[in-house]
């Protein structure tokens, strides 16, 4: 397995700005500094977050810190065109054209106040995307030193194969948790392990602790409550340890903005979840024993 340059836990910034907590510059600066202090040095962005405003807010806050840019990693995603006051779009759609990818990357650089992105991902697959055109955009951005790595987000194995026919894919960011574990069986994680593609998992807790109740969630919570005593860990730490157990080397993208939960999440990398307990959580999620 190749060594990843990203921190094991990645801070997801979607709710930092207008789409969530709407932190001011001082609050965002503090959160950035605390993340780094806890060992969470990678920050996951997308141009659309906050209606195309969160990257700008983050960049302004980061510029006020004393953190050396080379000690952190900035990830951004592009390709989704939203309908919002900041865009003249008449319908939500996807744009994976060469011109749009380059323009989006350059806008992210400007907003984040940085010379390069550690990774640029295509946020969603488009029915109109062409691998050669994407390759041309990524090749140009790499040649100009504006991105270090390229990846995709929410791509199926066949879509990964399509794009990788022209350009190497370093990352695939997918939904993956004990609640939403299709990636274990649909070939996604198998493909990433085989081709040394770094998996990143958004929604790694699977909204398990949301107000929405289901039999599946109840089973998982009951099992986690039992295991939590054995590991002296919280249920959410065990959910992260469950993801980390997979040999693909998945990086959970944690969306919390609460400092204690970020610190606890970072500590989950040290939980030695044994195989039998990993399968107990899987069985609780599925509602039946493995074949």
Fold of 10-211+243-267: TIM Barrel (3.20.20)
C-alpha–C-alpha distance, residues 235 and 225, integer Å: 7
What is the tens place of the pLDDT at every residue in 52-73? 999 999 999 999 999 999 999 9
Q: Which whole number is the average pLDDT over 43-52?
A: 97
What is the tens place of the pLDDT at every residue in 17-37? 999 999 999 999 999 999 999
Distance (Å) of CA 179 to CA 47, 207, 226: 27, 8, 17
What is the tens place of the pLDDT at every residue in 80-104? 999 998 889 999 999 999 999 999 9
pLDDT-derived band of residue 2, with 50, 70 and 90 as boundaries?
low
Residue 100 appears among annotated catalytic residues: no
Q: E-assigned strands of the chain?
A: 10-12, 42-44, 73-78, 80-81, 93-94, 119-122, 150-153, 171-175, 198-202, 251-254
Please tell me which residue in 49, 100, 132, 288 is annotated as part of the active site: 49
**Model confidence at 1: pLDDT above 60:** no
Q: Domain locations in the chain?
A: 10-211+243-267
pLDDT-derived band of residue 209, with 50, 70 and 90 as boundaries?
confident
Distance (Å) of CA 17 to CA 59, 153, 233, 245: 12, 21, 30, 32
């Amino acid at each position: 397995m190749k060594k990843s340059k990203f921190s094991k836990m990645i801070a997801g910034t979607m709710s930092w700005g207008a789409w969530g907590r709407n932190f001011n510059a001082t609050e965002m600066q503090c959160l950035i500094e605390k993340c780094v202090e806890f060992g969470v040095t990678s920050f996951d962005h997308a141009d659309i977050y906050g209606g195309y405003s969160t990257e700008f807010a983050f960049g302004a806050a980061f510029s006020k810190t004393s953190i050396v840019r080379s000690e952190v990693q900035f990830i951004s995603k592009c390709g989704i065109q939203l309908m919002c006051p900041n865009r003249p779009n008449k319908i939500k759609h996807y744009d994976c054209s060469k011109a749009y990818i380059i323009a989006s990357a350059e806008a992210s650089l400007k907003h984040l106040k940085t010379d390069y992105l550690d990774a640029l991902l295509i946020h969603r697959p488009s029915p109109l995307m062409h691998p050669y055109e994407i390759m041309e955009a990524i090749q140009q951005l790499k040649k100009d030193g504006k991105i270090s790595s390229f990846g995709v987000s929410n791509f199926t194995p066949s879509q990964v194969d399509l794009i990788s026919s022209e350009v190497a894919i370093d990352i695939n960011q997918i939904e993956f948790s004990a609640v939403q574990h299709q990636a274990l069986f649909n070939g996604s994680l198998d493909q990433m392990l085989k081709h040394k593609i770094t998996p990143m998992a958004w929604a790694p807790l699977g909204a398990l602790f949301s107000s929405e109740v289901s039999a599946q969630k109840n089973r998982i919570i009951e099992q986690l409550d039992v295991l939590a005593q054995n590991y002296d860990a919280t249920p959410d730490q065990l959910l992260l340890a469950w993801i980390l157990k997979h040999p693909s080397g998945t990086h959970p993208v944690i969306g919390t903005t609460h400092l204690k939960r970020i610190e606890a999440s970072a500590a989950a990398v040290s939980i030695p979840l044994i195989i039998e307990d990993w399968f107990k959580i899987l069985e609780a999620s599925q509602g039946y024993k493995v074949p």
